[in-house]
Structure formats: C-alpha cells, structure tokens
Amino acid sequence: MPPSVFIVSDGTGITAETFAHSILAQFDQKFRLVHVPFVDSIDKAYATVQKINEAVALDGRRPIVFTTLVDSASNEVVKGCNALVLDMFQTFIEPLEHELEIKSTHAMGRVHQNADTEEYKNRIEAINFSLAHDDGQSNRNLAEADVILVGVSRSGKTPTSLYLAMQYGVKAANYPLIPEDFERGKLPTPLLEHRTKMFGLSIDPQRLAEIRNERRPGSKYAAIENCRFEINEAESMMKREGIKWLSSTHKSIEEIATTILQEIKPERPSHY
Amino acid sequence: MPPSVFIVSDGTGITAETFAHSILAQFDQKFRLVHVPFVDSIDKAYATVQKINEAVALDGRRPIVFTTLVDSASNEVVKGCNALVLDMFQTFIEPLEHELEIKSTHAMGRVHQNADTEEYKNRIEAINFSLAHDDGQSNRNLAEADVILVGVSRSGKTPTSLYLAMQYGVKAANYPLIPEDFERGKLPTPLLEHRTKMFGLSIDPQRLAEIRNERRPGSKYAAIENCRFEINEAESMMKREGIKWLSSTHKSIEEIATTILQEIKPERPSHY
C-alpha cells in the first residue's frame, strides 16, 4: 500500500500539486495522490481533516499532507490532523514578511491571474495566435510572433508552441520544414525576414520514424531512410542559416520551452 | 526600485517559479523577477552567487532567492550569497525522509516526465486529440474523449480543452452550441450518447460581446442582444439536458479546469 498524499488548497491546488510532484519525484516510492481543492471555509477544513484521518486507519500509517492554505484559521484546523503536514505557505510567508517589513495580505485565490487582467487577456490572445499559426497555417501577422519554431513534421513544434503561449503568454508560431524546402535548399520565403525569432527543433530519426509510424504505418513518410534524410537536411539547413536549435528526443515540453526562452529572450513580464 | 527575486533551479525552474508566484502574490508590492534555470554544476552555482550579489549593490537591498537545487553541494554554494534564501527543497525533503524512513535520491531533472515515458506519450496524444477535436471539427472517436466541453462561441472552450490536455493528459474535445442547435432545441446529435462526459461553459453576455467585438467589430455575432439570446438559450439547454456547467467570466483557465476534473472525474493517474 503506497503512502497517501493529500494536496490541500483553498484554490485549484495546482501550485501545491506541481510542488508536491517535484518533491515526491525524489523518492523511489509510489504514492497515492488525493486532491482536495477549494478548501475555502472552516467547515471544509474540518471535512478535510476527517478525510485525512480516515486514511490513517485504511493505510495503517500517517499520510503526508501538502497545504497551501492562506487563511490562518483553516490552516490551524488542517494542521490538527494525524499526518505529516508540510505547510508550504506559512513556512515561507513569515521570513518574507520579516525581510520585506510588510505584512502579507492573506487574500485567497491570488495565484492565478484573474480573467479580467491585461496579463490574462494577453495569454488568451497568445493561445489564439499560436493556434492560428500552427503548422504554417497562416503567414499573416508573422511580424507579431515572439517566437517562430521550425522543424520537420512531428518534431514537437505544436505542443511546444502551445505550452509557450499557455504558460508564458508568448506568441509562438510554428512552421514545418518540408521536402520542397530541402530541394530548394532555402528556408520557406515568409520566414526569411524573421530569422532572429526563429528556433529549430530536431529529433532522433529512429524516434521520429516511430512517431510517424503510429500516424501513417508503413508509409514513405514514416520510413527510417526518409526520416534520416529529412533530419539530416533540416539540421544542415539550420546550421547554414545560423538558426539555433535543439534535439527534442529526450526533453520534456517544459525543458524545450525554457531553453527557447533563454535563447530567444522574447519580452516577458518580469515585474508583477 | 522593486526588490529583486531570483528563481534558481537545476532544471527549468517552472516549479520554483509557480511557487514563488503564489507566495509573492500575497504581498502588495512589485517585484523584479530574474530566472536562473539549469544551474546543474558547482561553477554555475558560483556564477549565480555572483549575479545575486551584484544585485545587492544595484538595488541597495538584499534580494530574495527561491531555490530548488537537488545537489547539496551546489545548494550550499548558493546559500552563501547575500540574500534571503528560501530553500524549497531541503526544507521539505528532510522531514519527508524521516517520515518515510528512506533517503531521497538527490537525482536532478526528475520533475518533468521524461519524453520516453508512457505518461508523457499520453500527454502528447491528449494534446493532439484536443487539437483535432477543437470547435466540433471532428466527430471521429468522440467515444475516446475523457471530457466534452460545450458552450457558445468564445465562451472559453478552446483554452480550457488545451489546458486539460497539456496539464493533465485529459483528452478534451469541445463542441460549439450554435443558433441552429437553439432552433432545433436539441443538443448536436453526435453528442447525445456522451452526456456523462459533457460539461458546459457559459459567460456573462456583456463580456462575451466585448470578446466577440474584438474579433468581428460591429457584427450581429458580437451584438449584445445576440449574445444575451445565445447565452440564455445555451443555459436553458444545459439545464434541460442535465449538463453541469459554470460561468467562465471571472475564472482563470486553471480554476475552470480544476472544477471540471472534480465534476467529471475522468481517469487520471493517481499513483506515480
């Protein structure tokens, strides 16, 4: 029976979950995750304690509880449960209050940008932009793009573009490099004036063949020789054109996106 | 001059950034964020300390540093800087080691799913599914969907579907409710057999008119009377058909997604 881990939050719990995930990944051990979002009243805090204490009996051991409760009273209630409580909030708020010499607001639901803010609208606009400029669908407003990803079909451009838009509000277009481009030996014409915003994705040919075979089994498109050819041509072109690129083979979307931001440095809000 | 905040990580820094964001949102104060990802060697740790200490002179005050460094030696180096260091990692790893009676692995780069894992492939598959089933584009394989979002045009279905796929690996289709559906007084036929997976998004008509006017200024589509009519019809239909729904007007994508997961409860990996 893996230990139970409760993620208790007064909001979505996404911050707590992201953090718990990164901490728990440090243990060679399975865990059973239980999400308890929207704990925004004392009653819900008591109900949560009951749920946690029931797990003690079921599991035969104390659970682990990650909390990000802003309200001190609810937080005190939850801390009364029979578990190892890792209080992510209080632990850091107090030293910060001391350092900044101001009190925290203890306002709930501050984590995610409110749907009415300018920043939030920018993010939605970036998602729409990235969708409209997926896979070279449109050359309109390419000048507005913060980043233009290039690479052969199925090298990871679409998820990366959407992640950049969703997470960072970065307008990320993506453009495929196709056999016709390799024959001409030139980048697609609409991209030529945007070289400084371009970033390339490559991928191991073997892996590319696997991915393409899932879509179109046995096709020339998916054949290993064709994948080798396309990757070889694409990498040569990127080198020749001075475009920075990376291999997506063993990287997560998050790692690819972070690397691109470091290299291209689009404007991002650094104050808030 | 707002205080400088350094986000120091041996990986992407996304966990640290998410967490710092939620903590700093508790202070009515602007901050200047500096991202220092991929600090995966002692040399880079020393370079980071230098960067932090330079900020002391520039700002005339100590910066705040959020760290998630797995490597103890690098962590010790960074802790030697002249700043308030909030060590998110060590703070929680030690009590966990004690509770679980096992040592943590101290392995770097464990946070994001490796591109070779099954879970990661599922996530990419979910993103592709959600893209292919955006805005009622395809009725193929709707049975495979975990969630089907419905609502009038521009009620927030697309960003929510993509977020569910990207963050949770949930296959989220979305389907528009259009004037023809209201005339017939029935849900679109392809959806009828999938009622248990459906979730509705509504929105304040005034807000909807604003959003639509940005796309098609002065159109009937964007007119406030038309928006009122569509929203009224859509909400009546959802009530009549027993479909759970919420208003997206003042909610972030994250809040909408979390609520949907609570209501629809698609299968999600709860062990890892």
pLDDT band at B12 (very low <50, low <70, confident <90, very high): confident
CA A82 to the chain's CA centroid: 34
Average pLDDT over residues B7-24: 86
- Asked whether A233 and A187 are in contact (CB, 8 A), the reply is no
Cα(B155)–Cα(B151) distance, integer angstroms: 6
User: Is residue B74 situated within a structural domain?
Assistant: yes
Tokens linked to B52: 């932090």
Q: Are residues B219 and B140 in the same domain?
A: yes
Q: Are residues A123 and A152 in the same domain?
A: yes
Whether the CA torsion A224, A226, A232, A235 is positive or negative: it is negative
Helix axes A118-132, B157-168, angle to 10 degrees: 80
User: Is residue A151 situated within a structural domain?
Assistant: yes
User: Is residue B106 situated within a structural domain?
Assistant: no
Spatial CA neighbour of A248 closest among A239, A257, A240: A257
User: Is residue A106 situated within a structural domain?
Assistant: no
A4 to chain B: closest CA residue: B271
Whether residue A136 is annotated as binding a ligand: the answer is: no
B62 to chain A: closest CA residue: A99
Whether residue A158 is annotated as binding a ligand: the answer is: yes
Tell me the shortest Cα–Cα distance from A235 to chain B, in angstroms.
21
Q: Are residues A244 and A152 in the same domain?
A: yes
Contact B111 A25 (CB under 8 A): yes
For chain B, give the number of residues: 272
Helical ranges in chain A per DSSP H? 14-24, 42-59, 72-79, 90-100, 118-132, 157-168, 179-184, 205-215, 224-241, 253-264
Q: Are residues B249 and B188 in the same domain?
A: yes
CA A268 to the chain's CA centroid: 16
User: Is residue B112 situated within a structural domain?
Assistant: no
pLDDT at A116 (0 to 100) = 66
Contact B127 A248 (CB under 8 A): no
Q: Are residues B81 and B181 in the same domain?
A: no
Contacts of A252 in chain B (CB under 8 A): 112-115, 120
Contacts of B35 in chain A (CB under 8 A): 261
Find the radius of gyration of the CA atoms of chain A.
Answer: 24
* CA dist list (Å): A139 to A101, A127, A225, A242, B14: 51, 16, 31, 22, 31
Contact B252 A113 (CB under 8 A): yes
* CA dist list (Å): A226 to A24, A208, A210, A212, A245: 41, 10, 12, 11, 21
Contact B26 A131 (CB under 8 A): no
Contacts of A263 in chain B (CB under 8 A): none
Contact B248 A167 (CB under 8 A): no
Tell me the shortest Cα–Cα distance from A184 to chain B, in angstroms.
30
HSE-up of residue B80 (Cα within 13 Å, Cβ side): 13
Whether residue B154 is annotated as binding a ligand: the answer is: yes
pTM here is: 0.79
pLDDT band at A21 (very low <50, low <70, confident <90, very high): confident
Q: Are residues B185 and B224 in the same domain?
A: yes
Contact B33 A254 (CB under 8 A): no
For A7: left if phi > 0, alpha if psi spans -120 to 50, otherwise beta; the answer is beta
CATH of the domain at B180: 3.40.50
Interface test with B, best of A9, A15, A101, A154 (most B CBs within 10 A): A15
Q: Are residues B160 and B257 in the same domain?
A: yes
Q: Are residues A85 and A176 in the same domain?
A: no
pLDDT tens figures, A135-147: 998 888 899 999 9
Cα(A186)–Cα(A172) distance, integer angstroms: 22
Nearest by CB to residue B95, choosing from A86, A249, A262, is A86
Tokens linked to A248: 């997506």
Q: Please state the domain count of chain A.
A: 2
Q: Are residues A27 and A151 in the same domain?
A: no
pLDDT at A271 (0 to 100) = 41
Nearest by CB to residue B26, choosing from A12, A34, A105, is A105
Q: Are residues A56 and A86 in the same domain?
A: yes
Tell me the shortest Cα–Cα distance from A176 to chain B, in angstroms.
16
Cα(B225)–Cα(B209) distance, integer angstroms: 9
Q: Are residues A68 and A172 in the same domain?
A: no
Q: Mark which of B55, B70, B100 sits at the end of a domain.
A: B100
A132 to chain B: closest CA residue: B131
Contacts of A22 in chain B (CB under 8 A): 15, 68, 110-111
Spatial CA neighbour of A4 closest among A88, A58, A64: A64
pLDDT band at A270 (very low <50, low <70, confident <90, very high): very low
User: Is residue A176 situated within a structural domain?
Assistant: yes
Cα(A46)–Cα(A78) distance, integer angstroms: 7
A164 to chain B: closest CA residue: B166
What residues have CB less than 8 Å from A65, skipping those under 6 apart? A5, A6, A8, A52, A78, A81, A83, A84, A85, A86
Q: Which of A38-52, B84-98, B140-154 has the lowest mean pLDDT?
A: B84-98
- Asked whether A87 and A75 are in contact (CB, 8 A), the reply is yes
Q: Is the pLDDT of residue B272 over 70?
A: no
pLDDT at B270 (0 to 100) = 46
pLDDT tens figures, A37-94: 999 999 999 999 999 999 998 999 999 999 989 888 999 999 999 999 999 888 888 8
Contact A89 B23 (CB under 8 A): yes
pLDDT tens figures, B196-225: 999 999 999 999 999 999 889 999 999 999
Helix (H/G/I), strand (E/B), else coil: A200: strand
The ipTM (two decimal places) reads 0.75
Residue B45's identity, in one-letter code, is A
> Chains A and B: how many Cβ contacts under 8 Å?
201
Q: What is the DSSP letter of B218?
A: T
The residue with greater pLDDT, B107 or B184, is B184
Percent of chain B at pLDDT > 90 equals: 62
Whether residue B152 is annotated as binding a ligand: the answer is: yes
User: Is residue A67 situated within a structural domain?
Assistant: yes
What residues have CB less than 8 Å from A192, skipping those under 6 apart? none
pLDDT at B121 (0 to 100) = 84
Q: Is the pLDDT of residue A155 over 90?
A: yes
Cα(A114)–Cα(B199) distance, integer angstroms: 22
Whether residue A157 is annotated as binding a ligand: the answer is: yes
Tokens linked to A140: 């309109």
Q: What is the DSSP letter of B40?
A: -
Whether residue B156 is annotated as binding a ligand: the answer is: yes
Which residue segment(s) compose the domain that A47 sits in?
4-100
Q: Are residues A233 and A122 in the same domain?
A: yes
User: Is residue A235 situated within a structural domain?
Assistant: yes
Residue B220's identity, in one-letter code, is K
Tell me the shortest Cα–Cα distance from B248 to chain A, in angstroms.
8
